[in-house]
Amino acid sequence: MAALPRLVCASSVVLVVWAGFCSAVCVEVPSETEAVQGTHMKLLCISCMKREEVTASTVVEWFYRPEGGKDEPIYEYRKTNHEFPSRFSGRLQWNGSKDMQDVSITVLNVTLNDSGIYTCNITREFEFEIHRPLFTSSRLIHLTVVEEAGEDFTSVISEIMMYILLVFLTLWLLIEMVYCYRKVSKAEEAAQENATDYLAIPSENKENCAVPVEE
């Protein structure tokens, strides 16, 4: 019977370790689609691998298409990084991960002319003993470059709520000041009336008003 708690404890540890291992999963997050002129913009491209794809070789190709234009290659990763001659020459930087699940690139010093459609093509070749199948996927990013960053709707609402709170606190403070002023004024008036009434009493009656002292 003493071995049963140890077995349950060991099983719990195994489950916790397994849950922690499974929780470290890849999540395919879409890229941002708006950039500010003069900043650096990361074009996010994530292609999660399955367990059997870990040993696959990966080739990444990036293309750019201006408004009304055609796709033109701008960047490639095929065991090594290669940047094609284009309007982005010297402004592209590899920003991917070692496991080749994140194959993003960063555009440095974004300009207004960088607006357009970016395509990320991922090709994986499985290295099985019998055959070497290929797996391909693509991501499209519609990028818009603006001159200045627009205000976030949440920040605007926060500012409005802050101003409303300031107005409410100011009104509450004024009301409290008026209330305290009236209360003090009434107390002073009552004290003056008591003093006036006391002075109006004849001196003989004042002596009678004295409180007798017990011996």
The neighbour count for residue 119, using CB atoms within 10 Å, is 18
Task: Say if residue 97 is exposed, middle or buried (CB neighbours under 10 Å; 0-12, 13-18, 19+).
Answer: exposed
Could you tell me which residues are beta bridge partners of residue 60?
77, 122
Query: What's the confidence (pLDDT) of residue 23?
Result: 38
CA distance 94 to 105: 5
CA distances for 136 relative to 25, 52, 63, 191, angstroms: 20, 15, 15, 92
- How far from chain centre, in Å, is Cα 84? 34
**Residues recorded for the chain:** 215
Taking Cα atoms as reference points, which of 196, 35, 10, 9 lies closest to residue 114? 35
Query: What's the confidence (pLDDT) of residue 214?
Result: 55
The neighbour count for residue 181, using CB atoms within 10 Å, is 10
What is residue 72's three-state secondary structure? strand
CA distances for 14 relative to 10, 17, 211, angstroms: 6, 5, 87
Query: What's the confidence (pLDDT) of residue 14?
Result: 37
- The superfamily (CATH) of domain 26-147 is Immunoglobulins (2.60.40.10)
Q: Where are the domains of the chain?
A: 26-147, 148-178
Query: What's the confidence (pLDDT) of residue 52?
Result: 55
Averaged over successive runs of 10 residues, the pLDDT of the chain (215 residues) comes to 42 37 61 91 89 75 94 94 93 91 94 95 83 86 88 70 86 88 83 70 56 52
Query: What's the confidence (pLDDT) of residue 198?
Result: 62
